[in-house]
Every structure is written in C-alpha cells, then in structure tokens.
Amino acid sequence: VQSHVAKVLDLPLHAVEVDVLRLGGAFGGKEDQATAWACLAALAAWCLKKPVKMVLHRQEDMRYTGKRHPYSSDFKIGLTRDGSILAYEVCYYQNAGAAADLSPAILERSLFHATGSYYVPHVRATGISCRTNLPPNTAFRGFGGPQAMFVMEAAIVKAAAALDMKPEQIQRRNLLKDDDLFHYGMRVVNSQARRCFQEAGDRYQIDAWRQRVAEFNAGHTLTKKGLYLMPVCFGISFTTVFLNQAGALVHVYTDGSVSVSTGAVEMGQGVNQRILKAVARVFSIDPARVRIETTNTTRVANASPTAASTGADLNGKAAELACRAILDRLKRVAAEELAGK
C-alpha cells in the first residue's frame, strides 16, 4: 500500500505513513487486493486536503475483489501393480483474472506442491496462468498448494479404481520418508508423513467412521456420505527468499514497561500475543507490562507481508533478538553500578 500510494501521489516513500491496528481477516486479499482502494482514498484525501474513509458495500466487495484461483488440470499417472507411483505428469491451467496480482507466485507454489505428500521419482509439472475477464484472483490459505495437492489426490483415486485397490493403499505405499527427493531436488529430512498418517487413523478411529458411512449409504438412496484422508506436506516461508526477514523496534521505559513494534499485522491469528509473550519471557516480566504497538511503516520500514506462515516466527524472533540486545546492555550497566558500590 505504501509503495503504490507513493507512486500514485508522486511522493517518496518516507512521505507516506501507513498505520494498521488490525485486520478483520486474512486469507490473501490483504496482500494486494486492498491496494487499489487505499490508493483511491489517498488520492481523494490528497486532492481534497481532508481525511477520506472508503467503505465498500459487501456486495461490491464480493464482486470487485478476487477469490481463490480456480484451476483446470490434466494429469497422467503411472504405477506398478502393487500401487507404487513411478511417474506423474500434470498441467495446471490457472484462472488468474484480468491482472497478474499474485498469480505467478501462486502458480509457482502449485508446481512445488505437485506431488503432495508422496515420493514420485519421475515428474513433469507445467503451469499456465490464464488471463480472463474476471476480477484478479489472489492468495488464499495454502497459496496454490491445495489446488495442486487436490489434483494429486484425484490422480490417486483414479489409479486406485483402475487397479481395483483402495486409495489408502496407494497413499500409504508412497508417503514420503527420510532421504526421498522432492521433484525439485530437495531431500526429505525428519519426515513425519507415515507416522502422522498412521497416528491420525488410530486416534480418530477411521475404520469405525468408514463403517458408519457405509451403513448410512446402504440405508439412504438420495443422500450419501463420503470419507477421505488427505495427507498434507506444505512448505512455509516465502519462495522469494529475500522476503524472509523481519525487523523490530523495542523501547524499555524508565518504569520498566516495554513497547514493541514489528512488521507483523494482527488479523486474528494471534501474532501480537505470541510476540508479547516472547518479549515478556526474555525480560522475565509480567506480560501486562508489555504493549504491542500498531504496525506502522515509519517505525518498522520495508516490512515483508504478514504471510507464508511466517509472521510470528520472523517478527517474533526479531523482537526477541532486539530484547536480548537491550537485556545484555542492562546487565552490563547493572554490573557496573553494583561493582561501584
């Protein structure tokens, strides 16, 4: 928002201050979809020399802003008779809408997640972002990963039907394990896929649930139920590597209270409370003595988006490092004072 408003108003970045108390929700739209409306409000405020508030009617909001990208996909999958996957070929056709928004990055993540939680030795994955006459679609939770993983699961179901097997048999046989290679060359370390799949089945009594579903379906003609387990292997952090950074500004006041500013935006995920607790733990003080400030482009500049499941980790660690630097200084001063006495 800051950079685009600066371009629209022909101002340097330091002349535009964006302050965010909290968002009413997340799921991708906060990354790019709000920018156009912010620019409109900023332009009106600049021209009128008055504060401007813009609130879209809910129906307008739903019409004008993009949603999760619809995908149409073609796939081929090759397996042995016992269900071991040998090869997988997939092509994703992504409905991007009328402008790119975050579509290329989302499609990139789809390609990374093409094989889901399974080891496949031979993979060819192609992604095509399609421009259409719809509002630009945007990031949603999973950022292209769910679409790709759903296609993989669909391929497994089709293969299971052709081999006269249960999909779960193919799933279990091909789940990732240590030292397997992802199709982009990364080696699997500390894989928990097989243990997790087994433990989930035992803990939630999946066999009993399947029996109940079968009994329901046998007794109902027009209404049916289904049950399917889908293992998820999802990569967190930004694929644009330089975005994996954060900053924090920590003030310790003379009464011992603490103020913390980071680039993280609170949107219901609890990032403020996590950072607050981390700061309180470093200083060994009551959390009530810590205040998390609004997210502000003047206090913490050039912040990365609060996205990619990294908000608490990156910004929390930045706050922790800042607190530890202050704590070390306080200890040195205290030691000097006590030594003098």
- In the structure encoding, which two tokens stand for residue 330, read together? 């306080």
User: Kindly report the CA angle at 13 between 8 and 18, in degrees rounded to 5?
Assistant: 85
Neighbours of 191 (CB within 10 A): 17
Name 94's bridge partners. Answer: 71, 129
Q: What is the CA radius of gyration of the chain?
A: 25
Q: Is 172 helix (H, G, I), strand (E, B) or coil?
A: helix
Quick: pLDDT tens for 91-104. Answer: 999 999 999 988 99
**What letter would DSSP give residue 134?**
S
Q: What are 324's two structure tokens?
A: 């530890």
Mean pLDDT computed over 147-157: 97
Query: Of 58-72, 120-134, 151-165, 280-294, where does mean pLDDT reach its minimum?
Result: 58-72
203 Cβ contact partners less than 8 Å away, ≥ 6 residues apart? none
What is the pairing mode between strands 258-262 and 290-292?
A: parallel
Helices (H), 132-205: 145-163, 167-174, 193-203
Task: Output the pLDDT for position 341.
Answer: 66
pLDDT in tens, 169-201: 999 999 999 999 999 999 999 999 999 999 999
Band of residue 66 on the pLDDT scale cut at 50, 70, 90: confident
| pLDDT at residue 62 in the model | 85
Residue bearing the bigger pLDDT, 237 or 300: 300
Q: Of 169-173, 272-276, 306-310, which gets the smallest average pLDDT?
A: 306-310
Please determine, for residue 106, whether its predicted confidence score (pLDDT) is greater than 70: yes
- Looking at 30-34, 81-85, 204-208, 273-277, which range is the least confident one? 30-34
* Lowest-pLDDT range of 1-5, 146-150, 282-286, 305-309: 305-309
Predicted local confidence at residue 306, as pLDDT: 82
Listing DSSP states for 243-282 in one string gives GS---EEEEE-TTS-EEEEES---SSS-HHHHHHHHHHHH
Token match 């070929």: residue?
89
pLDDT surpassing 90 at residue 242: no
Determine the pLDDT at residue 236.
83
Across 24-38, 198-212, 237-251, 295-309, least confident range: 24-38
Could you tell me the domains of the chain? 2-64 (3.30.365.10), 71-215 (3.30.365.10), 241-340 (3.30.365.10)
- What is the band of 268 on the pLDDT scale with cuts at 50, 70, 90? confident
- Tokens describing residue 102: 């975050």
pLDDT of residue 28: 61
Whether pTM exceeds 0.75: yes
